[in-house]
Structure 1
Amino acid sequence: MHKNKTHIAVKNGTHHAAEKIVAELLMREFAQDDSVLVAIGGPGGTGKSTFARVLADGLPDAVILRLDDYKTSRVLRAEKQVFGPHPEANKLDLMQEHFAEIKAGRTFQKPVYDSPTGEARQTEAFVPRQFNLLDGEVSTYPAFREQVDFSIFIDSDWKTQLATRIDRDIETRGYDREKAIATFLQSNLREFSEYGAESKKWADLHLYCDEDYHLEIESVSDTVFLQHHDLFDSDYAEVGLKGLVVPVLTPFSENWKIDERAFIRHLEFLAQHGVHRIMVNGTTAEFFSLLPEERKQLLKLARRYFPGMIIQHAGGTGLEQNKTEVRWANDFGADAVAVLPPIYPSGLPEAGIIQYFQALEAEADVPFLLYNFPKHTGNGITPKILREVPHYGLKDSARNFELMEHTPNYFVGSSTTVFEPVQQGAAGFVSATANVRPELYAAFEMLLVDAKVEEAAVMQQEVKAYSARFSAGGIPMLKESLARKLDGYPTRVRAPLI
């Protein structure tokens, strides 16, 4: 099971160095330990080596083990047609042996990779210290999970990774631009996505590398946050499962497959404009037109590229399939799961819906939300259902505000009427139109959070007017409007939408 994370965001106007916080965290966590293994992983081009050097300088007794020295020969990699992130491109068994030596506090001879020859023919002595920083994209791989004491995953958007890889490969490896780009596509977008991306959900700490190479702490494991939350109090605000949630659209390419690049660009667009929570595979995502493997694909992409909280919708498509998709939420790093009642037949008895929800809730290891949308399901959620099904909260697209008192956390399933329910205790709101103009809805959220009543009441009118434009156009109009914000975003919708 993945490690549950506490998501945090930098407070407005805060200036800090993430490296200092991480150094203090490690010194506290392992004050009495010898030969600590700290993995620093993530895709190429995210600043791992730079971070490792700065972190080592901030620790009292630290040394860096560069895992690029454990690459297999360039000739062998070429024969197998594999690149750096591929397990067969690395001497994993030798790494495990040497990590064991570090844990035992014994000096050993480590390989030294020579880039001009593409071989590691020489060795040098490695003397373990208290903090041994494992610098390399494979350091967070499953093979080392039992040996590593603390795992750090550094991520960035693909454009930052590409720019870094191009500069490095041209300057230090003599590649031309075309070869550098081809290497990036194979190494970062194919191999690391297949073999390394999922290790993010096991990491104790996530860092995000901005395009100017400034590092921000994105999330930290719940256990670590609870023990050391004071480290984050001055610079960061906890991002909880409250406030604005954006149900993300699903872009389709010319061959009607999911357009991954457009989806990633949209996630980055939302994050850059202050969105901290999204829902994948919801109504706005056209879940009713997606194959199960496509819904899994979207969840994994979102966890890979969105730095905030993710709610996985896993309802409406049949109990056994829904159980599977709830387990995906557990396994692939979702922060919560939401489920609709059965969408066919309508008018089901409360007892049947209760059994259905209870069976799904039993599969969930993350907060469990019920999703009320009787207009489409024909099966509304009632106070009795809310009483008898253990749950974290309710997303109510019917805006049946009488249900608010029967659920721990009520989310308005619309942005046209938010101010009044929040004043009455609603935990947040779900806005499809925030896909297009996230900055407006993020600003509205902040006014609500800060209890700026007069300003929030005024902005509610602007939000309501903007949202009303899309009431008749639905998902197709949202995509057309987003295409005007993100050049090249595809506007295709799958049948039965037109």
Structure 2
Amino acid sequence: MRFEGIYTPVITPFREDFSIDFDAYMASIDYLIEAGVHGVVVGGTTGEYYVESHDERVRLLEIAVARCAGRVPVIFGTGSIDPNESIRLARAAAEYKADAILVATPPYSLPTEHEVAQHVLAVDRAANLPVMLYNYPARMGTVMGEACLDEVLASPNIRSIKESSGDINRLHLLMQKYPDLQTSCGMDDQALEFFAWGARSWVCAGSNFLAEEHIALYDACVVEGDFDKGRRIMGAMMPLMSVLEQGGKFIQSVKHGVTLAGRFAGVTRKPLLGLDEAEQQQLETVIRTLKASIAAIQKEGK
């Protein structure tokens, strides 16, 4: 499987009583497909998987596969603090016909690289599907380093890695030492650098509400090879990246962005709380300016 394009980690819309609004969830998937994203991720961090039950996570996968109906691939996140739960989720991915799975390090337990590798391979065996690794040390507490990668790449299913460390040296390492491992941008404010080094996919939460603008950066850099245009688009996106990556309220900001776009996003489940009025106004201003700037850049090229 080739991972190319914009992959959106879909939000989970929760009502005020914290139940899932499945109709709104399906509407989000429809929006993403119609907007032109290249794939969706179910059960990613942006989907708040860590506060969802096993049954909820599997139901979201089942709906997504049915809704996408082969139009775009569905990647299913198997992340859990409990490795046995990750294996159960991997089996569900195979049962409900996910196209690939996302495999992260179990958080909190701080496994060694060999232990991480053994976990990855166990989840891989449970699903026997293409695998996108997920390296996010800030959340997981440990890194999928070279020893881990060298071990897991013995499996032909390990196809890609979502690199979310924020360490540009990791990008250099992956692109130079592991050229056959498809590197996907997982740190939004480094998307331009990833594309410049040859990455061909971006897992980006902001595409939940700004799909066209994220696709515009991908098209400029990867499809057209126009990095001058890409720099201008990325420059217009940087204020949003600052809000998302450095603002401290990543998921809340994404959900408010979806609300501003006219779709139901709902609340976040605890412990997360929504944006205050000042934060909402800041995000609204950033989005309005971004959309106008990128529209002008796109118009110049026509």
| TM-score, length-scaled by structure 1 | 0.50
* Cross-structure match for 2:277: none
Greater displacement, 448-457 / 308-317: 448-457
| Counterpart among 364, 370, 376 of residue 139 in structure 2 | 376
Deviations 1:478-497 (A, max 9, x none): 1122112124x143111111
Structure 1 residue 417 and structure 2 residue 179: aligned? no
| Counterpart among 74, 80, 85 of residue 321 in structure 1 | 85
How does 1:28-107 map onto structure 2 within 5 Å?
none
Distance 1:263 1:305 in 2: 10
| Counterpart among 101, 115, 124 of residue 337 in structure 1 | 101
Q: What letter is aligned with 2:267?
A: R
SS at match of 1:362: helix
Distance 1:369 1:484 in 2: 31
Structure 1 residue 465 and structure 2 residue 229: aligned? no
Q: What letter is aligned with 2:132?
A: L
Q: Contact 2:192–2:231 at 8 Å: present in 1 too?
A: yes
Q: Contact 2:3–2:160 at 8 Å: present in 1 too?
A: no
SS at match of 1:469: helix
Q: Contact 2:209–2:257 at 8 Å: present in 1 too?
A: yes
How does 1:144-293 map onto structure 2 within 5 Å?
240-293=2-55
Q: Contact 1:249–1:284 at 8 Å: present in 2 too?
A: yes
Distance 1:490 1:370 in 2: 27
Q: Contact 2:4–2:38 at 8 Å: present in 1 too?
A: no
* Cross-structure match for 1:187: none
Q: What letter is aligned with 2:107?
A: I
Q: Contact 1:373–1:398 at 8 Å: present in 2 too?
A: yes
* Cross-structure match for 2:65: 303
Distance 2:58 2:177 in 1: 32
* Cross-structure match for 1:493: 268
Structure 1 residue 456 and structure 2 residue 230: aligned? yes
SS at match of 1:363: helix
Distance 2:42 2:8 in 1: 9
Deviations 1:402-452 (A, max 9, x none): 233344101110221112222212232111111111110112212222212
Coordinate RMSD, CA, aligned: 1.7
Q: What letter is aligned with 2:164?
A: S
Distance 1:367 1:490 in 2: 30
* Cross-structure match for 2:296: none
Deviations 1:459-498 (A, max 9, x none): 12122233223331311121122112124x1431111111
Q: Contact 1:394–1:410 at 8 Å: present in 2 too?
A: yes
SS at match of 1:270: helix
Q: Considering Cα pairs closer than 8 Å and 6+ residues apart, tell me whether 1 or 2 has the greater RCO.
A: 2
| Counterpart among 163, 174, 179 of residue 403 in structure 1 | 174
* Cross-structure match for 2:253: 477
Distance 1:468 1:395 in 2: 20
State the 1:271 CA deviation: 1.3
The verdict on how the C-alpha distance between 1:409 and 1:424 changes in structure 2, with shifts beyond 3 A counting, is same
SS at match of 1:494: coil
* Cross-structure match for 1:139: none
* Cross-structure match for 2:299: none
Aligned length: 258
Q: Contact 1:386–1:406 at 8 Å: present in 2 too?
A: no
Q: What letter is aligned with 1:429?
A: W
Distance 2:185 2:225 in 1: 18
Deviations 1:265-307 (A, max 9, x none): 1111111211121111011111110000000011111111123
Q: What letter is aligned with 1:243?
A: G
Instruction: Considering fraction of residues, name the structure with more helix.
Output: 2
Distance 1:303 1:467 in 2: 29
Distance 1:428 1:357 in 2: 21
Q: What letter is aligned with 2:104?
A: L
Deviations 1:314-368 (A, max 9, x none): 023322211111122212121110111111212x222211211111122232211
SS at match of 1:241: coil
Q: What letter is aligned with 2:175?
A: M
Of the two, which has the highest radius of gyration? Answer: 1
Q: What letter is aligned with 1:464?
A: M
Q: Contact 2:12–2:265 at 8 Å: present in 1 too?
A: no
The verdict on how the C-alpha distance between 1:382 and 1:286 changes in structure 2, with shifts beyond 3 A counting, is same
Distance 2:93 2:203 in 1: 19
SS at match of 2:134: strand
Q: Contact 2:6–2:215 at 8 Å: present in 1 too?
A: yes
Q: What letter is aligned with 2:93?
A: A
* Cross-structure match for 2:213: 440
State the 1:313 CA deviation: 0.6
* Cross-structure match for 1:107: none
Greater displacement, 464-473 / 290-299: 464-473
| TM-score, length-scaled by structure 2 | 0.81
Distance 1:419 1:477 in 2: 22
Distance 1:453 1:359 in 2: 40
Greater displacement, 280-289 / 302-311: 302-311
Q: What letter is aligned with 1:328?
A: A
Q: Contact 1:417–1:464 at 8 Å: present in 2 too?
A: no
SS at match of 1:334: coil
Distance 2:175 2:104 in 1: 17
State the 1:369 CA deviation: 1.5
